[in-house]
């Protein structure tokens, strides 16, 4: 009976609206190459809780080798479906933005993913996401130097509060 009680609770908490899952207590996962020796992960979590105090934050890993999108993709691909539908996954591995590497948010298999379009999404997904949005940027120095905290968290908290994906930026059709 135990597992069915859990499945029933998750089913009740998830509402299927406009082709997307919404949760009462959204889960935001973090996968980064930041390590745990300094303030970076704490700053990201603090930003999440400041913008959305009701967030449930789950650390998938902060021990991804620096800039190793293949390692990060392996980790994410093998665990994201173990999370309930509607989970928001922030990927802070090699997150720098450039002309060739926009920041995106996408929806696939009932989950949201936010990160740099540096090739990681095409490794994680076996098919094209249902929706892909290039994230808006404030243009501030902080958003360029710490995008995981200043860009990805803003999009994640918007989604966690029930906001529409298309409100985080402009629709796009492709991922790298």
Nearest CA to 121 out of 149, 94, 153, 142 is that of 94
Nearest CA to 148 out of 60, 33, 38 is that of 33
CATH of the domain at 55: 3.40.50.10790
How many domains would you assign to the chain?
1
User: Which residue range forms the structural domain that includes residue 33?
Assistant: 2-172
Q: What sign does the dihedral 104-102-70-39 (CA atoms) show?
A: negative
pTM value is 0.84
Question: Percent of the chain scored above 90 by pLDDT?
Answer: 73
Structure tokens at 103: 């920041």
Which band of pLDDT confidence, cut at 50, 70 and 90, is reported for residue 25? confident
Whole-number average pLDDT of the chain: 87
**Per residue in 84-142, pLDDT tens?**
999 999 999 999 888 778 999 999 999 999 999 999 999 999 999 999 999 987 666 66
**Per residue in 128-167, pLDDT tens?**
999 999 998 766 666 567 899 999 999 999 999 999 999 9
In this predicted model, which residue has the larger pLDDT, 71 or 3?
71
């Amino acid at each position: 009976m135990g597992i069915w009680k859990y499945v029933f609770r998750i089913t009740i908490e998830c509402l299927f609206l406009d082709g997307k899952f919404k949760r009462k207590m959204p889960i935001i996962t973090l996968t980064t190459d930041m390590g745990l020796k300094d303030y970076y992960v704490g700053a990201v979590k603090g930003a999440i809780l400041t913008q959305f105090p009701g967030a449930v934050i789950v650390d998938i890993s902060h021990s991804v080798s620096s800039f190793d999108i293949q390692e990060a993709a392996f980790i994410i691909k093998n665990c994201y479906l173990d999370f309930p539908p509607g989970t928001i996954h922030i990927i802070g591995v090699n997150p720098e933005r450039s002309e060739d590497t926009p920041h995106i948010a996408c929806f696939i298999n009932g989950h949201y993913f936010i990160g740099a379009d540096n090739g990681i999404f095409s490794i994680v997904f076996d098919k094209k996401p249902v929706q892909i949005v290039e994230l808006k940027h404030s243009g501030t120095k902080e958003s360029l130097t710490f995008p995981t905290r200043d860009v990805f968290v803003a999009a994640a908290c918007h989604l966690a509060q029930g906001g529409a994906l298309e409100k985080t930026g402009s629709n796009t059709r492709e991922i790298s």
